[in-house]
């Protein structure tokens, strides 16, 4: 009887053969990469949609507040009034020139000074990063004037260079020089010593190390510094066009403020922001093309 009970409780034999155990579930180690969705973060494709949705929401709130009279037109004109002012400024020169002429003058000043600042500041920053002597000489000077607002040395530039275009170019140049130089210096300082030693072991010359190792590693920081510098240039534009400027978006905004033309002021501010955002987007695309390895482990 005990043997019969054991036979009854025993599991039936598999006529095909033993059953293979279930394969182990793959485990994810602590260092294995995880997708952004695993952390609840949006993917890169969702970022443009979120940005567009934010702009639509803000414009809708602006339109509702202006149409219902929550904000007086003197404080914030409606989007319809801004659009009509934008169209009228393109055809008439009641502000000292058409809108295209004002935008062209400001673009020439900002990007002209930006190119000159980049030609001087980036080599200076690279030299500060590679030479201790030059870093000891130039670093105190750059760090001293870097936190100074452009309005602080605006009177000095007028005394030194007058009230012409040279003074405006020098003011914009000084505003953009420091972030360009410091970003280039930080990029050089971020180069790993192992990379230089590996290049030396392969027989690379000093010129090859600088071009293919140092400059390549510093390029992401340099591009970031260029984006920051052009932002400083646009913020300094109004200060540069305060003195004896006949055309320019900053001059147009300042003149409109004297006559309480809030619509013209908003048009100038929005146009400056759109130009700056367009340049920033172009710099991001250039960054993806030149340094595709940035941000990848």
pLDDT of amino acid 117:
94
Q: Could you list the mean pLDDT of each consecutive 10-residue stretch along the chain, which spans 297 residues? A: 45 46 50 51 68 84 84 84 86 76 90 94 90 87 87 87 88 92 88 78 79 83 90 86 81 85 89 88 85 65
Full domain range(s) for residue 175: 79-290
Has residue 161 been placed in a domain?
yes
Q: Where residue 116 sits, what CATH number does that domain have?
A: 1.10.3720.10
Tokens of 78: 């409606």
> What does residue 263 show for φ and ψ, rounded to 5 degrees?
-65, -40
Please report the sign of the dihedral spanned by the C-alpha atoms of residue 175, residue 181, residue 184, residue 186: negative
pLDDT of amino acid 81:
87
Has residue 98 been placed in a domain?
yes
Has residue 91 been placed in a domain?
yes
Count of residues making up the chain: 297
Angle between the 79-91 and 46-67 helix axes, to the nearest 10 degrees?
Answer: 100
Distance CA 134, CA 128 (A): 5
Has residue 252 been placed in a domain?
yes
Has residue 14 been placed in a domain?
no
Closest alpha carbon to 83 in 252, 263, 250, 274: 263
Has residue 186 been placed in a domain?
yes
pLDDT of amino acid 118:
94
pLDDT of amino acid 5:
45
pTM of the model: 0.74
pLDDT of amino acid 9:
47
Has residue 261 been placed in a domain?
yes
Distance CA 256, CA 170 (A): 26
Has residue 138 been placed in a domain?
yes
> How many domains are contained in the chain?
1
Angle between the 249-258 and 99-130 helix axes, to the nearest 10 degrees?
Answer: 120
């Amino acid at each position: 009887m005990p043997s019969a009970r054991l036979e009854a409780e025993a599991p039936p034999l598999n006529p095909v053969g033993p059953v293979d155990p279930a394969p182990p579930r793959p485990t994810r180690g602590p260092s294995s990469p995880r997708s952004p969705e695993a952390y609840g973060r949006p993917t890169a494709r969702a970022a443009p949609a979120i940005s567009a949705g934010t702009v639509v929401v803000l414009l809708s709130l602006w339109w509702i507040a202006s149409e219902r009279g929550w904000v007086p037109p003197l404080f914030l004109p409606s989007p319809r009034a801004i659009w009509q002012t934008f169209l009228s400024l393109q055809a008439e020169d009641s502000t000292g020139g058409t809108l295209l002429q004002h935008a062209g003058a400001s673009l020439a000043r900002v990007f002209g000074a930006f190119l000159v600042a980049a030609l001087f500041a980036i080599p200076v920053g690279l030299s500060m990063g590679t030479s201790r002597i030059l870093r000891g000489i130039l670093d105190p000077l750059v760090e001293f004037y870097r936190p100074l607002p452009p309005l602080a040395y605006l009177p000095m530039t007028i005394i030194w260079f007058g009230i012409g275009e040279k003074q405006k170019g020098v003011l914009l140049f000084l505003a953009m020089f420091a972030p360009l130089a410091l970003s280039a210096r930080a990029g050089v300082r971020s180069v790993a010593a192992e990379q230089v030693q590996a290049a030396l072991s392969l027989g690379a010359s000093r010129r090859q190390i600088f071009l293919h190792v140092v400059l390549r590693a510093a390029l992401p920081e340099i591009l970031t510094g260029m984006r920051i510098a052009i932002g400083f240039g646009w913020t300094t534009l109004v200060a540069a066009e305060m003195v004896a400027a006949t055309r320019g978006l900053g001059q147009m905004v300042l003149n409109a403020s004297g006559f309480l033309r809030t619509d013209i002021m908003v048009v100038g501010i929005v146009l400056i922001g759109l130009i700056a955002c367009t340049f920033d987007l172009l710099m991001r695309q250039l960054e993806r093309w030149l340094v595709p390895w940035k941000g990848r482990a």
